[in-house]
Structure 1
């Protein structure tokens, strides 16, 4: 068999093949004459207009119903194609009769006659709405990722500086840095699973304390369902890490019988609005000393979180154990039923 494609039987068959292709393609195909009138429009274009060929034939863009600015733009482009004999490309929004406003990518191409002159202008237009929207979403994601990376690098830089400053030697500093970065990583994992929109508070707290839950019943966690935005989720997770670290070294988690209760609930609406009141309370451990949480941990718990959460925090050293309270401003729409 010949490797060449067989020729169609006649010119009529060739034209019927062209008509079949032009009539079924989803692209919008059309031809203007030198007076900017439509002398051909395929089915996809007629459907977009919501017109028949009899209604559209011989009309200009303005007569078809294009907005004056849109028609004027194409008139100028057609004249430029005629003058330069070069294709021109662009994109434009246009109302589809059934689908609403869509974004179209188009190209106008000169049709050269046997005398070497431009005798018509052929056009091809493609609906790129989904592609354009996807590109916009991707750009937003890239911008958001850049923002998150910068924030994470700043936080890691702060963790390293403060860990070095509050440590007695390199080994202790390395241990603090490793633990704090691991805590940050755990929170990032939770947020990544949620597409970085928000994190469920129950999952966030459970993930933060999981490495320290060495026995059943060590942590008692209770609270209403609530979603925290990323910056608040990271801040709260780091606070829980500091509280867990201190509890393991000096507090309730340093002895087998020690326990920690973490609870939160909505507060009454006041002049500052609605909020969650979160509390960490240690029990059955050694009496705490304020000296054990001096340095970066205390500053993070009392000052850093107050800023990042947008609410007040308080760290108390009660005889029964360390108590930490945080007020987290919320919106009613963030509360689950």
Structure 2
């Protein structure tokens, strides 16, 4: 029966469990083929003997066994290799009714297990790709939403800048200059924001970018404060306010004099209260204006609302002082 079967089969017989096998079993032997016939089980399969000994003892005691995809490290081809096997050990009885051998019906499943593991790995990679793709789509939706929000805010700011500048200017030439300068400041702030997180922008970068056109010398501006992040809406508002302050300082204040200087300082206290100050020194004597234009309103009222606090421009003789008190948007907490 064994010799005529296409299923790999062998049996071990007698006290030494001498091995007999069919042709289908030959590939399993590897380099051992040709010298395994009639040899003891333990001698032929010494590399896995201790792994299969419990199954041998079970079959010799009359209890058949079955294993599926059992891992065995073999040296059948002259080197160690990880293999997998599905097999059964069944007791064989002699003429006297005693157990005298073991029948082994076996199938090597090494390639099947490897294929299954490769398939599982591919499945996990696909799942990971799907997770990344979903995260990408979510981020894309957030970016599109933020872009739409920023565009609406920007258009609203441009509309307000143009309409208010027209109302507060005395001639069309003045309107063109003022509107152009304010929109350039807004555009520079937008350029900076496109290179940072959709949720937050660095305050120092915003401040330096806003006053850069007015920095004729390196020491004209002094910046001081910890690293803080602010939302895009607060960054745009503060950028415009600093642009207005720098423009006025260039025309009438500290930056109109050779030795004039502006100090921009900010801080966040232990209670999350934000403060920023603009202090001009070394300029001409300051006299409070009799007429407040849109720039002053923007610097005070609009910025105060954006930062949920107060903003005041002080015209002291030694130089213009701007003080902002409020809080940063929660989404930008460090």
Shift of 1:231: 0.9
Name the structure 2 match of 1:123.
Answer: none
| Aligned equivalents of 1:171, 1:333: Cα separation in 2 | 41
Cross-structure match for 1:138: 140
Measure how far apart 1:268 and its partner are. 5.3
With normalisation by structure 2, the TM-score equals: 0.59
Give the counterpart of 1:243 among 239, 242, 245. Answer: 245
Is the partner of 1:325 in helix, strand or coil? strand
Q: 1:157 offset after TM fit, Å?
A: 0.5
* Offset, 1:135: 2.6
The offset of 1:145, in angstroms, is 1.0
1:300 aligned residue: 298
Q: Does 1:326 align with 2:324?
A: yes
Q: How far 1:267 sits from its partner (Å)?
A: 3.3
- Alignment match, 1:219: 221
Corresponding residue number in structure 2 for 1:282 = 280
**What aligned pairs does 1:66-85 form with structure 2 within 5 A after superposition?**
none
User: 2-side partners of 1:207 and 1:301: how far apart?
Assistant: 17
Shift, 1:325, TM fit = 0.5
Secondary structure (helix, strand or coil) at the match of 1:168 reads coil
Q: Give the secondary-structure state (helix, strand or coil) at the position aligned to 1:256.
A: coil
Cα separation, 1, equivalents of 2:265 and 2:321: 12
The residue correspondences of 1:6-45 to structure 2 (distance < 5 A) are 43=116
Aligned to 1:8: none
**Distance of 1:230 and 1:262 partners within structure 2:** 20
Cα deviation, 1:132-155, whole Å, max 9, x if unaligned, reads: 332332222222211111111011
CA contact 1:235–1:305 (8 Å) conserved in 2? yes
Which segments of 5 or more consecutive residues in structure 2 lack a partner in the other structure?
1-114
Change (3 A) 1:131 1:224: closer
Mapping for residues 44-193 of structure 1, pairs under 5 Å: 47=120, 128-193=130-195
TM norm structure 1: 0.59
Q: Structure 1 stretches of 5 or more lacking a match?
A: 1-41, 49-95, 104-126
**3-state DSSP class of the match of 1:193?**
coil
Q: Is the 8 A contact 2:185 2:210 kept in 1?
A: yes
How far apart are residue 197 of structure 1 and its match?
Answer: 2.6
- The CA deviation at 1:333 is 9.6
Secondary structure class of the residue paired with 1:314: strand
* 8 Å CA contact retained: 2:307, 2:328: no
* C-alpha spacing 1:322/1:292, structure 2 compared with 1 (3 Å): farther
Secondary structure at the residue paired with 2:289?
Answer: helix
Of residues 190, 211, 232 in structure 2, which corresponds to 1:209? Answer: 211
Query: Separation in 2 of the partners of 1:261 and 1:216?
Result: 13
**1:246 shift after superposition:** 0.9
Q: Is the 8 A contact 1:250 1:292 kept in 2?
A: no
Q: What residue number does 1:35 align with?
A: none
Deviation of 1:312 after TM superposition, in Å, equals: 1.5
Between structure 1 and structure 2, the one with the greater Rg is 2
Distance (Å, rounded) in 2 between the aligned partners of 1:332 and 1:196: 14
CA contact (8 A) 1:246 1:293 kept: no
Q: Distance in 2 between matches of 1:330 and 1:139?
A: 25
Q: Which SS does the other structure have where 1:281 is aligned?
A: strand
Measured on the aligned residues, the alpha-carbon RMSD in Å equals 2.8
CA–CA distance in 2 between the matches of 1:332 and 1:296?
Answer: 29
- Call closer, same or farther: CA 1:216–1:150 in 2, change over 3 Å: same
Structure 1 Cα separation of the partners of residues 288 and 254 of structure 2: 14
Matched-pair contact (CA < 8 Å) for 1:225–1:335: no
Q: Per-residue deviation at 1:196?
A: 2.7
